[in-house]
Chains A and B, each alone.
Chain A
Amino acid sequence: MGYLGGFLVTFRQHGRKNRVTTQYSGGRLFKRKKRNAPTMDEKIDKPERLHGRHVLNRYEDGMEKCIGCELCAAVCPAKCIHVRGADNDPDNPTSPGERFGWIYEINYLRCIHCDLCVEACPTEAITETKLFEFSFTNRKDAIYTKNELLVGDDGKPQHLPWEDWRPGEDQHTSAWMRATAPAGDASFVGVVSWAGERGYGVRPAEASQAQADAASLPPSDADVGRKH
């Protein structure tokens, strides 16, 4: 009786308090200047592994991480990424190494936020924040160029006018990647294997499921701080 199961599902949802937006701003309470009136829409904290809008990261010295290899564009199932690489100017390089990402565009009318580009990236240049509430008034805005995707000089994502950023949404980007052991080898569990980045430095690695099951304790500082 699949039908009845469906009825149970909707009935259980009714009255449950797991809404993304918990209270709208404005309205009567706001006009009357009540103390508890929300000045902006109240929303729940996003789950740590939510896939949202992308960012292009920089190294701690300000160099771009993207090397223009186009692996993200190749793996993208929605074909929403357009990358073209170019040779670095030896005197004033954009990224360490030979090549850098010259054009980088993501079409958010197509992106399905599957995170495969993040998995494919060999330098952890592209990761995902937890911002998913951004809407556009024209198609041009929907195509994010490199200028918009790249983190600012402080290492934080740029806040574009049509985006609704909440505190904490640019943190723990790409937690999905950090959840598994780098290279899939059990001896690398909990070992940070990527370079630090501007703004956040070296991110701590998450414990593997085996560790979490064994101790149900957070990963110790000794494991987190060690560089590979």
Chain B
Amino acid sequence: MLALDPMLEGEVLWTPLIIVVLKVLVVFVVGLVATMLMVWFERKVIAGMQNRIGPNKAGPFGLLQTLADGIKLFFKEDLLPRRSDRFVFALAPFLSFVPAFLSFAIIPLGGDYRDGNDGIVTWFGVETRVQLADPHIGVLFALAISSIAVYGIMLAGWSSGSKYPLLGSVRASAQMVSYEAALGLSLASVILISGTLSTSGIVAAQSTLTDWHVVATGIVPFVIFLVAATAELNRPPFDLVEAEQELVGGFNTEYSSIRFALFYLAEFMNTVTMSAMIVTLFFGGPQPISYGGVTLDIPLIPNGLEGTVWLLGKVLVFLYIYVWFRATLPRLRYDQLMDLGWKVLIPGSLAWFMLLAVQRLARNEGWNVFTTTAAAVVVLGMCYALLQAAFSMSNRTREREGAQF
């Protein structure tokens, strides 16, 4: 009770408490079921792309395949390598699993945001949102949590007491830390346009198709976010962390049984969460498609519930895109990965953020937007030339010094 009523005002009712508990339950169950279906979806879609059938035995269309795999993993032997650090080894899967669920808490899962509504619904006489929590720092919370997920992978590899997991986790920490910068910088463009950090506020700012941040920020931050998010999730083509051909299984080589299942679950849960995050930030989340006063309305469903349907549809598109990436693109080499992250994505997102900021400043100060943008482009072009000069310089130095060895 103290947590709900820290000032001890004594006016706390049971209804909000029950609503919060219900929300937690629903989000947890939905998260688990979504992950289960995501594993099935991925296996089925990738099988289709590789001319196979995929799971089709357990349940209708093989839907229960993940459940069967989970039950199997529960009953397998749980190995603890002798040279492992036992406590950290046991802790690491949870460090990877819990953040995956935590960041799902701030995604707006429904509600009526159209026509400038703020998505508040009334349940049992209490005004609330269709999301577990709506902190004012919503987006920062997601970034922070995704940083914590690095620990799970890093500690898993480190505590295994084995060389391939260690290599995998070293790669993981380098990759996730460097792509987080690009992720955050492309996010900054969204925050600049929407003017709020709260996820429900960001959704509310995207009422029409032209307000969707994918359009409003230009398409560049979205593309950078998509690529950086794929790297952040350690999904192909950025799955150097688990690179089967090089590192056996990467950081989870020594894991078995339910501990391995937790890593597996976290990976797919993160994919679902990140797709929902992309939809929330760039595609209006639960907003329906509306353009020029015409709104696509699904008949017979109340507006509050319709948001959930829209969200689900949009998330499915991105889940498909992630599977599509995996089926199409070969894995990047490690230096290519670092080059892409540091030399393309981070300068690119920084430059785009500067362009948007300049335009905003020009509009606020009443300057000529076109001239100001042109000036900014010229400055950025000079920066680009300097950057290229720096790259070629360092290349030459490396070649000269490399010859000494």
Contact = CB atoms under 8 A, between A and B. Distances in A.
Contact of B48 (A3, A13, A22, A27): A13
Given A6-B329, A14-B45, A15-B48, A21 B53 contact: yes
Contact of A13 (B50, B57, B329): B50
A97 B134 CA distance: 90
A7 B324 contact: yes
A23 B324 CA distance: 23
Given A13-B50, A14-B45, A6 B57 contact: no
B51 A20 contact: yes
A19 B51 contact: yes
Interface string B38-74: 0000000100111111001101000000000000000
A131 B45 CA distance: 28
Contacts of A24: 53, 56-57
Interface in A1-38: 3, 6-7, 9-11, 13-16, 18-24, 26-28
Nearest to B330: A6
Contacts, number: 38
A23 B328 CA distance: 25
A176 to B, nearest CB: 23
Interface of B: 45, 48-53, 56-57, 59, 324, 327-329
A24 B324 CA distance: 25
Given A14-B45, A15-B48, A16-B51, A27 B56 contact: yes
Contacts of A28: 57, 59
Contact of B57 (A7, A14, A15, A26): A26
A10 B237 CA distance: 15
B327 A10 contact: yes
Contact of B52 (A3, A15, A21): A21
B52 A14 contact: no
A172 to B, nearest CB: 23
A90 B51 CA distance: 55
Q: Which 4 A-B pairs have the closest CB atoms?
A: A27-B57, A14-B48, A10-B328, A10-B327
Contacts of A21: 52-53
A7 B328 CA distance: 6
19 contacts: A3-B329, A7-B324, A9-B328, A10-B49, A10-B327, A11-B49, A13-B48, A13-B49, A13-B50, A14-B45, A14-B49, A16-B51, A18-B51, A21-B52, A21-B53, A24-B53, A24-B57, A27-B56, A28-B59
Nearest to A13: B49
Contacts of B328: 6-7, 9-10
Contacts of A10: 49, 324, 327-328
A15 to B, nearest CB: 6
Contacts of A14: 45, 48-49
Residue from the set B45, B49, B50, B56 with the largest chain A CB neighbour count within 10 Å: B49
Nearest to B52: A19
A13 B328 CA distance: 11
A67 to B, nearest CB: 41
A223 to B, nearest CB: 37
Contacts of A11: 49, 324
Nearest to A29: B57
A16 to B, nearest CB: 7
Residue from the set B52, B59, B328, B329 with the largest chain A CB neighbour count within 10 Å: B328
